[in-house]
Structure 1
């Protein structure tokens, strides 16, 4: 899997992890997946957080 972007949208992460978008948002809200939100814009998941999740680590 090539993780070349610095930030991913929740729908991209859902596709990479074979999960629903709802599950990704749930993971963000309960702290299992680190994400950032700029202003009223959409959530973005840093590459480091995605790598930690894929590797079984803790992203924060």
Structure 2
């Protein structure tokens, strides 16, 4: 795995984790709801990574 792929993977996983944690901190009803926002963050970061190439 080259450095670019590793960086891209860290970006999308970090976006998922970050959005999930922010949703939990703001007051998401449960973990499932927070992870839904994590998926949205993941999707946005994935689009960013794909468009950047």
Q: Which has the higher contact order (CA 8 A, sep 6+)?
A: 2
Whether TM exceeds 0.5 here: the answer is: no
**Rg bigger for which structure?**
2
TM-score w.r.t. length of structure 2: 0.29
Instruction: Indicate the structure with greater strand content.
Output: 1
TM-score w.r.t. length of structure 1: 0.28
